[in-house]
């Protein structure tokens, strides 16, 4: 097990408290700190004492990844592990499936920066407010029925035309946001749209938010974003694990590129009845959030008096989030991470604390 040094990304929506507090640094930080990256993504690879992780994988893919993962995914770490700290809302977005990502990237489509898909899971470390997946259209129609400015999308929702309602809202005049806020929204929905519109005035993504499940995750609860799942993070802190891609189709709530036609082609227009993913026990002290993805698996170890063991094969990253945890002899405190190559064998954790582990799915 080797100490892994990650990279903090200072996006404007980040917190000046969350990551600094986790890592025991002075609070507030000098600027916003949005994401703490752990992995080998070429945009910001992590480092071991002996060099950059991406370069070490390129030099010895079988030794670092294992024979099976190297054959399946090539000479690259197939997952990216993050701690996300959102003080402001993030963009309304979705990710493509693997076939579309490969095809669009080959065509040179400007929205696609690589040929991979990007399913992802987020587990809350503190209460985390999110929008994830479409609410039942009939329920949404009932909530919005008292808003005169939304009469047309409400009629579409009642007819079961979710795509039509989304397209209407994303292509409406920006003045519709103020018209909707002028009256008729239930209190919870008015507060949500008001918060988003304050950060992004006139942005139609604030209205599309009305169609989504509005969830506040408690620590340990998770949401999973497969291909086509429309979502946005509003505020909070969590651990995020994803396939190592940066393909994002945005529909609003961002100064970055928005491509509504391409987003509409990517979206899955099906209601998501329960967006919350719950963990399942694997062994004493170890739990897993099961998701249908080959590139990654996310575990949590709660370590007290009895050693906790993870037998997952391939490359693994461990991140301590509280207390102190020793992983195969490497001592980790909050916000510190370690990397185990495929040749390392099982990870055995001792101490008193909590840690999250990223691995390739078995």
CATH classification of the domain holding 34: 2.60.120.10
Spatial separation of the C-alpha atoms in residues 211 and 230, rounded to whole Å? 10
Among 359, 331, 337, smallest CA distance to 346 is for 359
Spatial separation of the C-alpha atoms in residues 85 and 107, rounded to whole Å? 34
Same domain, 164 and 66: no
Q: Are strands 120-124 and 212-217 parallel, antiparallel or unpaired?
A: unpaired
- Two structure tokens written together for 125: 């470390």
Mark the binding-site residues, compressed into ranges: 93, 95, 120, 231
Same domain, 8 and 115: yes
Spatial separation of the C-alpha atoms in residues 257 and 347, rounded to whole Å? 42
Same domain, 167 and 286: no
- Given CA atoms 236, 239, 241, 247 in this order, what sign does their dihedral have? positive
Domain count, the chain: 3
Half-sphere exposure of 199 (CA within 13 A, CB side): 20
Same domain, 70 and 97: yes
Total count of residues recorded for the chain: 362
Q: Which residue has the tokens 């402001």?
A: 88
Same domain, 108 and 221: yes
Mark the binding-site residues for Zn(2+), compressed into ranges: 93, 95, 120, 231
Same domain, 244 and 300: no
pLDDT at 305: 84
Q: Which residue has the tokens 């809350």?
A: 124
Q: What burial class does residue 108 get, using C-beta atoms within 10 Å of its C-beta: 0-12 exposed, 13-18 middle, 19+ buried?
A: exposed
Same domain, 30 and 69: yes
- Domain span at 7: 2-132+215-273
Same domain, 13 and 96: yes
Same domain, 143 and 27: no
| Known catalytic residue at 135 | no
Rounded to whole angstroms, the maximal C-alpha distance in the chain is 64
Domain termination residue (choose one: 159, 184, 212): 212
Q: Which residue has the tokens 């940066």?
A: 246
For the beta carbon of residue 136, count every other beta carbon within 10 angstroms. 14
- Two structure tokens written together for 112: 């696609």
Same domain, 192 and 323: no
Same domain, 353 and 252: no
Q: What is the mean pLDDT of each run of 10 residues along the chain (362 residues)?
A: 98 97 97 98 96 98 97 97 97 97 97 96 98 97 97 98 98 97 95 97 97 97 97 98 96 96 97 95 97 97 96 96 98 98 97 98 92
Among 229, 259, 226, 235, smallest CA distance to 90 is for 235
Domain termination residue (choose one: 212, 237, 263): 212
Same domain, 189 and 330: no
Spatial separation of the C-alpha atoms in residues 292 and 74, rounded to whole Å? 20
* CA–CA–CA angle 176, 181, 185 (5° rounding): 115
Spatial separation of the C-alpha atoms in residues 40 and 48, rounded to whole Å? 11
Spatial separation of the C-alpha atoms in residues 300 and 278, rounded to whole Å? 12
Write down the catalytic residue from 76, 135, 250, 316. 250
Domain termination residue (choose one: 195, 212, 229): 212
Taking the whole predicted model, whether its pTM rises above 0.75 is answered as: yes
Q: What burial class does residue 83 get, using C-beta atoms within 10 Å of its C-beta: 0-12 exposed, 13-18 middle, 19+ buried?
A: buried
Among 289, 333, 326, 316, smallest CA distance to 121 is for 289
Q: What is the 3-state secondary structure (H, E, C) of 19-45?
A: HHHHHCCCCCCCCCECEEEECCCCCCC
């Amino acid at each position: 097990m080797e100490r892994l040094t990650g990279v903090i990304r200072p996006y404007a929506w980040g917190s000046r408290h969350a990551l600094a507090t986790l890592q025991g640094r002075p609070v507030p930080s000098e600027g916003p700190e949005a994401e703490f990256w752990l992995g080998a993504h070429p945009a910001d690879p992590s480092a071991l004492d002996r060099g950059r992780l991406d370069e070490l994988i390129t030099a010895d893919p079988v030794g670092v990844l294992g024979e099976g993962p190297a054959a399946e995914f090539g000479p690259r770490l197939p997952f990216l592990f993050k701690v996300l700290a959102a003080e402001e809302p993030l963009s309304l977005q979705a990710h493509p499936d693997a076939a579309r990502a490969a095809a669009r990237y080959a065509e040179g489509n400007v929205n696609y920066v690589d040929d991979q898909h990007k399913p992802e899971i987020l587990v809350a470390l503190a209460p985390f407010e999110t929008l994830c997946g479409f609410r039942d259209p009939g329920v949404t129609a009932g909530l919005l029925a008292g808003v005169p400015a939304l009469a047309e999308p409400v009629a579409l929702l009642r007819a079961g035309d979710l795509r039509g309602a989304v397209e209407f809202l994303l292509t409406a005049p920006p003045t519709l946001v103020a018209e909707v806020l002028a009256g008729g929204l239930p209190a919870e929905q008015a507060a949500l749209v008001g918060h988003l519109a304050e950060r992004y005035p006139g942005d139609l993504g604030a209205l599309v938010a009305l169609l989504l499940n509005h969830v506040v995750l408690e620590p340990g609860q998770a949401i999973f974003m497969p291909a086509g799942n429309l979502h946005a993070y509003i505020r909070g802190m969590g651990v995020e694990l994803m396939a190592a891609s940066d393909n994002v189709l945005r529909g609003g709530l961002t100064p970055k590129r928005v491509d509504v036609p391409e987003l509409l082609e990517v979206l899955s227009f099906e209601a998501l009845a329960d967006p919350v993913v719950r963990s399942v026990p694997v062994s004493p002290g170890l739990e897993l959030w099961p998701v249908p993805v080959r590139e990654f698996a996310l575990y949590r170890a709660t370590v007290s008096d009895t050693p906790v063991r993870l037998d997952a094969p391939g490359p693994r990253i461990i991140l301590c989030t509280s207390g102190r945890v020793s992983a195969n002899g490497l001592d980790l405190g909050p916000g510190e991470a370690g990397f185990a190559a495929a040749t390392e064998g099982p990870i055995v954790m001792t101490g008193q604390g909590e840690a999250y582990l990223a691995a390739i799915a078995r």
